Amino acid sequence: MRSKGISQSLIRDTLRETFDQVDEAGRAKRLLAKRFAGAALKESKTRNRAVAFLQRRGYSSKVIFDLLGYSIEED
């Protein structure tokens, strides 16, 4: 964008606004609903598969653990 003559501050502000609006937890929840439709996410094996699925797609551990109801002491 800089090569097009757009100022650095405008680029930074636009990127910040764009990525601050991303609902990472909502997107992860929709992915889980699509991929694991009908699966019981309470089962250990299924939850582990769901965690790995989201990790491979770049979701943070915090979002994954909050979404699946993990606590630090589990597993």
CA nearest 27: which of 71, 60, 52? 60
Task: Yes or no: say if 31 and 51 are a contact pair by the CB < 8 Å rule.
Answer: no
pLDDT digits (tens, 9 = 90+) for 38-51: 788 888 899 999 99
pTM of this structure: 0.64
pLDDT digits (tens, 9 = 90+) for 9-28: 888 888 777 766 568 888 89
Give the domains, in start order, of the chain with CATH numbers.
Answer: 24-75 (1.10.10)
